[in-house]
Amino acid sequence: GDSVTQMEGPVTLSEEAFLTINCTYTATGYPSLFWYVQYPGEGLQLLLKATKADDKGSNKGFEATYRKETTSFHLEKGSVQVSDSAVYFCALTPNGSGNTGKLIFGQGTTLQVKP
């Protein structure tokens, strides 16, 4: 079945460091891909998405490119801030159904940014 694999955390970085969180997926057809962020005590929030191959999602300085050839959707940010400390989840919905349908999540990666 469809699945998502994320790099294990926690990831600890100093402020202004470059961030990469790896995400790879297994799916049939053409899934839609998402990154969600969960700040302490809050619900998951959609960070960015991409619905077809080679699309780049971006938001708040974060970027991820849908790479069908490597089945990857790695999250990057050029310069992290303390306020970026959170748990990040990579997810997919099968066959491009948008995120109104069934979401399949990775295990989440905790990011801690130190001043």
Partner 1 sequence: GAVVSQHPSWVICKSGTSVKIECRSLDFQATTMFWYRQFPKQSLMLMATSNEGSKATYEQGVEKDKFLINHASLTLSTLTVTSAHPEDSSFYICSASSRGEQFFGPGTRLTVL
CB 113, min distance to partner 1, A? 20
Within the chain, how many helices (H) and strands (E) appear?
0, 12
Q: Report how far residue 24's alpha carbon sits from residue 56's, in angstroms, rounded to the nearest whole number.
A: 15
Which CB atom, from 17 or from 96, has the smaller least distance to partner 1?
96
Name the DSSP class of 67. B
3-state secondary structure of 55: coil
Rounded (to 5) percent helix, strand, coil in the chain: 10, 50, 45
Residues at the contact surface with partner 1, assessed by CB under 8 A: 4, 36, 41-46, 89, 98-100, 102-108
Which CB atom, from 7 or from 103, has the smaller least distance to partner 1?
103
Which CB atom, from 57 or from 106, has the smaller least distance to partner 1?
106
CB 104, min distance to partner 1, A? 8
CB 82, min distance to partner 1, A? 22
Which CB atom, from 13 or from 87, has the smaller least distance to partner 1?
87
CB 107, min distance to partner 1, A? 4
Helix/strand/coil (H, E, C) string of 19-47?
A: EEECEEEECCCCCEEEEEEECCCCCCEEE
